[in-house]
Amino acid sequence: MRFTDFASSLIGLWLLLASPLQALELEDQKLYPGTSATVVKVISTGDLAVFEPFILQFQAENPTIGIDYHVTSSAELHSAIQDGGVFDVAVSSAMDLQFQLANDGAAQAYASAVTEALPVWARWRNQVFAFTAEPAVAVISRERFADLERPKTRQELIALLRQNPEAFENTIGTYDVRSSGLGYLFATQEARNSDTFWRLSELMGTRGTELYCCSNQMIDDVASGRLTLAYNVLGSYAAERIARDDRLEILEMEDYATVMLRTALIPATATETQGAALFLDALLREGLRDAPTVWALPPLGAADTPEARAYGPIRLGPALLVYLDKLNRDAFLRAWSDAMVQQ
């Protein structure tokens, strides 16, 4: 989930159709050969470590199909598909960019019994399908939080930050929304839903906040005790770490939770559409489970907690285009930088 030069790639969107195919910047790639020549090319923002068990399970059920799994950032994925790169399935945590791909006509429609079983809010035009519902959470260090009361709402968190400057001085972490697509999505949605976001951001800026590209690094630093609090961490990653590391804890916020949907689509350029359909159905079946089995990613039902229900999961719809607009992005980043980066 690294956003390298998001702004320029977004400007590039308007020129992409004319530009030649750029080399794809991959973080990881692995081929899982099947017993036949069929290979489904998957491009994804999900780490291999997370997706491997799922791919192996899929191949156990469909041994003939080979999977060529590419890991890249959501911006790279977006521009690769937009440029007409040939992939059979695109899986991304950046639902706004996925939505834009479908809106601009880069996705093809697919319907099956499984897609019909999805809740209405988890699909758009039979082109974009959600298979996880992952909240943004605040993760705290047990050790550094030993003497502090656990805040239950954003208001209480603000009060806590105000009253204990020394405890949080330079030990708060959050996404650098300028480089992280997911961080930007969480921040814009929260800013839209609640006016506490800007007060919290200003306060975090005042206390001195470390900015991160990725959830895992934040979790690492909270675990090691370098950070007291990491705000807007991907809940699924945090939960998975907490299961094997008791130095961490998730702050149970009762006022609201921003819930992101991880989505998959079949690009218009897909060639192995049958294999892609099987892979997509398998993904969605994981999303329809009551509890995760093959991986730590929470299924769609996870969006049904009281705090998540406050605003519901981020809506798959044209409103996602609003914060992708370059004028809006510039304005938002300007305001965010003013609040957060006060050096």
Partner 1 sequence: MSDTANVPFWWRSIGQRLTILLAGIAAVLAILSWWMVTSFAREAAERTQDNVLVASATTIAEALRSEQGTILLELPYSAFAMLDAIGEDRVFYRVSADGETLTGYDDLLPPGTPERPGDVSVRTIDYRGDQVRTVTVRRTVLAGQQPVPVLVTVAQTRTGVEAIGSGLSQTAAILSVALFILAVGLGAFAAGNALKPLNSFAQAVTRRGPSDLRPLRRKVPDELSPLLIALNRLMERLGQSIRRSEEFIAEAAHRVRTPLATVRAQAELALHTVEKDEEKKMLRRIIRAVDESSRSASQLLDHATVSFRADALAKDHVDLAELAAKVTDGLAPTADMKDITLILDAIGPAAVRGDAILLESALRNVLDNSVKYSPAETEINVTLDRLDKANWRLIIRDQGRGFSADSLPELTARFKRGTNVDQIVGSGLGLTIAEEVLDAHGGRLELSNPETGAGACVSLILPAA
Q: Are 303 and 259 in contact (CB under 8 A)?
A: yes
The letter for the amino acid at 321 is L
Nearest distance from C-beta of residue 112 to partner 1, angstroms: 17
The torsion region of residue 150 among left (phi > 0), alpha (psi -120 to 50) and beta comes to beta
* 322 three-state secondary structure: helix
Nearest distance from C-beta of residue 184 to partner 1, angstroms: 15
Between 163 and 328, CB nearer to partner 1: 328
Between 225 and 318, CB nearer to partner 1: 318
Nearest distance from C-beta of residue 316 to partner 1, angstroms: 9
Between 224 and 328, CB nearer to partner 1: 328
Between 13 and 251, CB nearer to partner 1: 13
Calpha distance 295→46 (Å, rounded): 11
Burial (CB count within 10 angstroms: exposed 0-12, middle 13-18, buried 19+), residue 50:
middle
Nearest distance from C-beta of residue 27 to partner 1, angstroms: 30
Q: Are 112 and 264 in contact (CB under 8 A)?
A: no
The H or E element spanning position 231 is strand 229-234
Between 192 and 199, CB nearer to partner 1: 192
Q: What is the dihedral of CA 329, 334, 337, 339, to 10 degrees?
A: -110
Q: Which residues bind partner 1 (CB under 8 A)?
A: 14, 102-105, 124-125, 192, 315, 317-319, 321-322, 325-328, 331
Nearest distance from C-beta of residue 315 to partner 1, angstroms: 7
